[in-house]
Amino acid sequence: MRVFVTVEEEGGFAAASRKLDISPAAVTRAIVALEELLGVKLIQRTTRNIRLTDAGHQYYEDSKAILTSLALANEAVSGANAEPHGTLTVTASVLFGRLYVMPSIIAYMQKYPKVKVIAHFVDRVTNLVEEGIDVAIRIGELPDSSLRANKVGQVRHVFCASPAYLEKHGVPQQPEDLRTHAIISANALSTKIEWRFGTAETSEKLRMEPKLIVSSNDAALAAAIGGLGITRLLSYQVKSEVERGALTLILEEFEEPPWPIHVVHREDKLGSSKVRAFIDGIVHDLRNHPNLK
């Protein structure tokens, strides 16, 4: 039953063998034996992929529930739930990690002192499997994958500049007006940028050549505050600066729909208590944060 569930969750026999640390032949024998025992076909196999039959889908759901109950019973007896320990690896973007993830990490480590935490705060998309990461906080739509995700909030892509810059150069009224302004880009990989405006039905793209290109959101924020031009950042990144009057939001009616924030992980209820405890804590913290609604 555990082999069958792992085959479905990992997307194949070879991946399941690696996850369970058994041979591919042992995985195949286990599934064949299970199908013979039940007298039904659970998995349709081709040379490239697998697909559960209708009976397989039902058996997968029932098996998950049984294995979850078994794991929880074992943990309750062994006390594994009471004292998370080991190493937990977390990732998020640089500014979001500093502002919103670190408070949850601090609270977690104070509650579970036996856990060592490694926090990778980088402005790139990490690969959880290849880089050995337990939990990631992702902003934006998620691609289809075997990873699990909890939506915890949303943010907007906003356009902003300093009041001094806008007073000197004027306030853009339409996206096209940006072509006459100094643009600050936080994408050092390209000398040209493409900003999107409007909903999916009325989406508009504007391609521009920035006057200043920097490699981090922090640097773009500082440049905009310094009056060098207009930049596009996420709402949580500029909130405090807007509130204190250092930046002014513009073109708000032309913004894209908000981007979701997810806590992404590989674990389910059968996973380690250290990971589940962190996920429970950060999901609660982010869902209740007023800046992410």
Within 10 angstroms of residue 76's Cβ, the number of other Cβ atoms is 11
Provide the CATH number for the domain around residue 276: 3.40.190.10
CB 137 within 8 A of CB 153: no
pLDDT of residue 78: 64
Indicate yes or no: pTM above 0.75: no
pLDDT of residue 202: 73
Residue 266 structure tokens: 């590989």
- 67 and 184 assigned to the same domain: no
pLDDT band of 191, cuts 50, 70, 90: confident
pLDDT of residue 216: 86
Which of the listed residues 78, 104, 126 is the one where a domain comes to its end?
Answer: 78
pLDDT of residue 190: 67
pLDDT of residue 258: 92
- 27 and 39 assigned to the same domain: yes
- 70 and 114 assigned to the same domain: no
% pLDDT > 90, the chain: 65
pLDDT band of 293, cuts 50, 70, 90: confident
- 125 and 74 assigned to the same domain: no
Q: How far apart are CA 75 and CA 233, in angstroms?
A: 44
Q: How distant, in Å, are the alpha carbons of 41, 57, 172 from that of 63?
A: 15, 10, 58
* Structural domains of the chain, count: 3
- 30 and 58 assigned to the same domain: yes
- 179 and 43 assigned to the same domain: no
- 23 and 101 assigned to the same domain: no
- 145 and 278 assigned to the same domain: yes
Q: DSSP labels for the chain?
A: -HHHHHHHHHTSHHHHHHHHTS-HHHHHHHHHHHHHHHTS--EEE-SS-EEE-HHHHHHHHHHHHHHHHHHHHHHHHHTTTTS--EEEEEEE-HHHIIIIIHHHHHHHHHH-TTEEEEEEE-SS---TTTTT-SEEEEESPPPS-S-EEEEEEEE-EEEEE-HHHHHHH---SSGGGGGGS-EEES-TT-SSEEEEES-STT-EEEEE--SEE-SSHHHHHHHHHTTS-EEEEEHHHHHHHHHTTS-EEE-GGGPPPPEEEEEEES--TTS-HHHHHHHHHHHHHHHT-GGG-
pLDDT of residue 56: 93
pLDDT of residue 121: 94
% pLDDT > 70, the chain: 92
- 184 and 248 assigned to the same domain: yes
Checking if the pLDDT of 157 tops 80, the result is yes
pLDDT of residue 83: 76
Checking if the pLDDT of 148 tops 90, the result is no
pLDDT band of 208, cuts 50, 70, 90: very high
pLDDT digits (tens, 9 = 90+) for 238-257: 999 999 999 999 999 999 99
Which of the listed residues 37, 54, 78 is the one where a domain comes to its end?
Answer: 78
Range of the domain at 126: 86-154+259-292
Provide the CATH number for the domain around residue 225: 3.40.190.290
pLDDT band of 152, cuts 50, 70, 90: very high
β-strand pairing of 86-92 with 135-139: parallel
Which of the listed residues 78, 112, 140 is the one where a domain comes to its end?
Answer: 78
- 26 and 145 assigned to the same domain: no
pLDDT band of 223, cuts 50, 70, 90: very high
Checking if the pLDDT of 80 tops 60, the result is no
Provide the CATH number for the domain around residue 34: 1.10.10.10
Contacts of residues 48-57 at CB distance under 8 Å and 24 or more positions apart, as own/partner, are 49/11, 49/12, 50/7, 50/8, 50/11, 50/12, 50/13, 52/8, 56/8
pLDDT digits (tens, 9 = 90+) for 38-64: 999 999 987 678 899 999 999 999 998
- 202 and 240 assigned to the same domain: yes
Residue 171 structure tokens: 């306030």
pLDDT digits (tens, 9 = 90+) for 13-37: 999 999 899 999 999 999 999 999 9
pLDDT of residue 67: 86
Checking if the pLDDT of 215 tops 80, the result is yes
pLDDT of residue 63: 92
- 247 and 286 assigned to the same domain: no
Within 10 angstroms of residue 207's Cβ, the number of other Cβ atoms is 9
pLDDT of residue 76: 62
pLDDT of residue 200: 62
